[in-house]
Chains A and B, each alone.
Chain A
Amino acid sequence: MLKIENLHASIDGKEILKGLNLDVKAGEVHAIMGPNGAGKSTLASVLAGREEYEITEGTVAFEGKDLLEMATEDRAREGLFLAFQYPVEIPGVSNVNFLRTALNEIREYNGQEQISAKDFMALVREKSAIVELDAKLASRSVNEGFSGGEKKRNEIFQMAMLDPKLAILDETDSGLDIDALRIVANGVITLKSDKNATIVITHYQRLLDYIVPDFVHVLYDGKIVKSGPKELALELEEKGYDWIKAEFQH
């Protein structure tokens, strides 16, 4: 589904990603872990198409298409979803209006009919239940005045609404208490199928107790330096990142 080869990316002339490779297939869950500053969030931003980053080398294929050539919104319409580390507040724009616009634009792109108001509301009810999101939040302005936990739950709710092929969760667990973490994780698991894939970017192992990854990758200094089964996450949690640093420092 997603194939990243030798990806190099820099911002303001500083290289952050230095030859990253990753292969994600439908039905898989990949966890990307690593210390602060390793390039985890950069990877998420580059895949979603943030313009501040310059791609200096490498390719990214998404369902066989060249992802890097696509505009941000087209990547989204092709089925790439990013759950933001810091969800953005948009005053005055209701969550419902926001999602309906998004859903209809995606449908239009894919040659589908606009969703009726009735079907849309039914969908909102169904999907908001997945993350136990208060229905009232759906009519409030996007993320405005939401608590940290509500924002993260709202991200997963949006993911449920838009039903992407590939979801990238950027530090979705940070700032959540254990109950909220469980709700978010359950949401992600519910949405999982053999047709979609998930990349979980995280600093901590605890999210992976709930969302069990098929592969764990360690990102360090702009490259994936180690990959392994889910047990690798536990090892990292135990030993910290210092041993990775020691091993790969040059």
Chain B
Amino acid sequence: MGYTENDLAKDLENSEYKFGFTTNIESDRAPNGLNETIIRYISAKKEEPEWLLEYRLKAFRIWSEMKEPNWAHVHYEKPDFQAISYYAAPKQTKKYESWDDVDPELKATMAKLGISMEEQQRLTGVAVDFVMDSVSVATSFKAKLGELGIIFCSFSEAVKEHPELVKQYMGSVVPVTDNFYAALNSAVFTDGSFCYIPKGVRCPMELSTYFRINEANTGQFERTLVIADEGSYVSYLEGCTAPQRDENQLHAAVVELIALNDAEIKYSTVQNWYPGDKDGKGGIFNFVTKRGLCETNAKISWTQVETGSAVTWKYPSCILKGDNSIGEFYSVAVTNNYQQADTGTKMIHLGKNTKSTIISKGISAGKSQNSYRGLVQIHKNAHNARNFSQCDSLLMTDECGAHTFPYIECKNPSAKIEHEATTSKIGEDQIFYCLQRGISEEKAISLIVNGYCKEVLNQLPMEFAVEAQKLLAISLEGSVG
């Protein structure tokens, strides 16, 4: 009777990806394939200085020697790296003098994404950087930020305008040699966002970047670099979507955060790359390296709501180098249909009195596989380090999987580490209780799921939290929302 688990499963299958449109903008793209010539082409297209070309070539040589990792709990056909175009830019790349200059098609795209810039500007005061197919197309609120000495621009622009900062910090947290995808990104990245907050400045608004993959057969390889100078504060938001396509597309980004002494960075992501259809066809391979470095008394907080991508491989991490530094990781990862996610964090405690908190909430539906993989590492000199981890998994069907792989390594006796994990089904008793109060099953599941994720959703800035809740609803539409 009523709305059964089967109906629920059906609704889940049929809920469609809401951002699966494409935008018809003429674009400039490199031929498929990857070799030194292509890298030189990208670098030349972007009018880059020699040192950056060298950096790319070095990364390419290292990457060529590396093997694609296969330790994650995901199974997929390895991408053919020679069948991807490594550069696709909306053709009109001249800088916009004002918002009115922006291509109306592009504006329409942004509107469909729910980030109409006019509206954003007027209502929320959020400064937005929009990256389509790896090229940053518009940055708003620049002047206002400029008054405070805050630099918020595309990565390419930063290379031109602030080469000293880029040179000093790029690769300092995620070295070229770090892993296969980071090396690939270092060789071919096309654009991304750059942000610098000067000493003692509290950034007055949320900084926001939207990433979108538009072209077929392209990969997106953006790079984000956020530097919070001593005593500064910034809250940074990142959103991602991609059109619906039958083939798998690759997204291999690198995000580096640097929080100098007493600085704080809050980095929030709502990731909704196209997850593939209900039979597991198509979707984005999301292989991302995100890492932050905390100096003394600094704090980095990662919050992510992950609902998209066919395969996710992502571990936003904190290196707690400075004494008294703090790392936080709050994550909701939803997988449905044939999605696979292997996500978690690394908290590397090097300094004294360092603290880390990990709250991970996994929700598995359909035939998906959802894994938490996390590392808490207490080094020998990290006296009085503290970690608390809580990893919960919620199962929606009997065909999905939820897995927990925590690694806890401790070399200091004064450390205190606590890890808890639970796996459970949405309780039938809970649903029945709601039903008896006149609440429909669909709403009941929505209430329970949102309640379950509350600790994470509470970490998001208000306007993002609303979007995240909507996304949860869409991802688990029809029932779980």
Give chain A's interface residues, CB within 8 Å of chain B. Answer: 48-51, 71-73, 75-77, 81-82, 84, 87-93, 97-99, 101-103, 105-106, 109, 141-142, 158, 162
Q: Which residues of B contact A73 (CB under 8 A)?
A: 2, 434-436, 438-441
Q: Which residues of A contact B451 (CB under 8 A)?
A: 90-93, 141
- B interface residues, tally (CB under 8 Å): 25
Check if B439 sits within 8 Å of A101, measured CB to CB: yes
B432 CB–A CB distance under 8 Å = yes
Check if A106 sits within 8 Å of B438, measured CB to CB: yes
Once bound together, how far apart are the Cα atoms of A97 and B448, in whole Å? 11
Which residue of chain A has its CB nearest to the CB of B451?
A: A92
Check if B438 sits within 8 Å of A92, measured CB to CB: no
Tell which of B429, B438, B441, B455 touches A88, judged by Cβ atoms closer than 8 Å: B429
- CB-contacts of B439-481 with A (<8 A): 439-441, 443, 447-448, 450-455
Check if A71 sits within 8 Å of B1, measured CB to CB: yes
Q: Which residues of B contact A84 (CB under 8 A)?
A: 433, 436
Q: Which residues of B contact A77 (CB under 8 A)?
A: 438
Check if B447 sits within 8 Å of A90, measured CB to CB: yes
Q: Known contacts A92-B453, A102-B438; is A72 also within 8 Å of B432 by CB?
A: yes
Check if A51 sits within 8 Å of B427, measured CB to CB: no
Closest Cβ of chain B to A92, distance in Å, is: 3
Q: Which residues of B contact A105 (CB under 8 A)?
A: 438-440, 443
Once bound together, how far apart are the Cα atoms of A205 and B38, in whole Å? 87
B14 CB–A CB distance under 8 Å = no
Tell which of A49, A51, A76, A109 touches B437, judged by Cβ atoms closer than 8 Å: A76
Q: Which residues of A contact B438 (CB under 8 A)?
A: 73, 76-77, 102-103, 105-106, 109, 162
Once bound together, how far apart are the Cα atoms of A71 and B447, in whole Å? 19
Once bound together, how far apart are the Cα atoms of A30 and B367, in whole Å? 49
Which residue of chain A has its CB nearest to the CB of B449?
A: A92
Closest Cβ of chain B to A167, distance in Å, is: 12
Q: Which residues of A contact B3 (CB under 8 A)?
A: 71
B381 CB–A CB distance under 8 Å = no
Closest Cβ of chain A to B299, distance in Å, is: 25
What are the 6 tightest A-B residue pairs by CB atom distance, in nearest-first order?
Answer: A92-B451, A93-B451, A71-B2, A76-B438, A72-B435, A88-B433
Once bound together, how far apart are the Cα atoms of A71 and B434, in whole Å? 12
Give chain B's interface residues, CB within 8 Å of chain A. Answer: 1-3, 427, 429-430, 432-441, 443, 447-448, 450-455
Q: Known contacts A88-B427, A93-B451; is A162 also within 8 Å of B437 by CB?
A: yes
Check if B452 sits within 8 Å of A92, measured CB to CB: yes
Which residue of chain B has its CB nearest to the CB of A75?
A: B436
Q: Which residues of A contact B454 (CB under 8 A)?
A: 92
Q: Which residues of B contact A88 (CB under 8 A)?
A: 427, 429-430, 432-433
Tell which of B436, B441, B455 touches A76, judged by Cβ atoms closer than 8 Å: B436
Tell which of B436, B447, B450, B452 touches A82, judged by Cβ atoms closer than 8 Å: B436
Q: Which residues of A contact B455 (CB under 8 A)?
A: 92
Q: Which residues of A contact B430 (CB under 8 A)?
A: 88-90
Once bound together, how far apart are the Cα atoms of A105 and B452, in whole Å? 22
Once bound together, how far apart are the Cα atoms of A158 and B3, in whole Å? 24
Check if B447 sits within 8 Å of A51, measured CB to CB: no
15 contacts between A and B (CB under 8 A): A71-B2, A71-B435, A72-B2, A72-B435, A73-B2, A76-B436, A76-B437, A81-B436, A82-B436, A90-B448, A92-B448, A98-B434, A98-B439, A102-B439, A103-B438
Once bound together, how far apart are the Cα atoms of A199 and B452, in whole Å? 34
Q: Which residues of B contact A103 (CB under 8 A)?
A: 438
Once bound together, how far apart are the Cα atoms of A48 and B1, in whole Å? 13
Q: Which residues of B contact A48 (CB under 8 A)?
A: 432, 436
Q: Which residues of B contact A82 (CB under 8 A)?
A: 436
Closest Cβ of chain A to B390, distance in Å, is: 12
Q: Which residues of A contact B435 (CB under 8 A)?
A: 49, 71-73, 76
Which residue of chain A has its CB nearest to the CB of B453?
A: A92
Q: Which residues of A contact B441 (CB under 8 A)?
A: 73
Once bound together, how far apart are the Cα atoms of A106 and B429, in whole Å? 20
Tell which of B1, B2, B433, B450 touches A92, judged by Cβ atoms closer than 8 Å: B450
Once bound together, how far apart are the Cα atoms of A87 and B432, in whole Å? 11
Closest Cβ of chain A to B305, distance in Å, is: 15
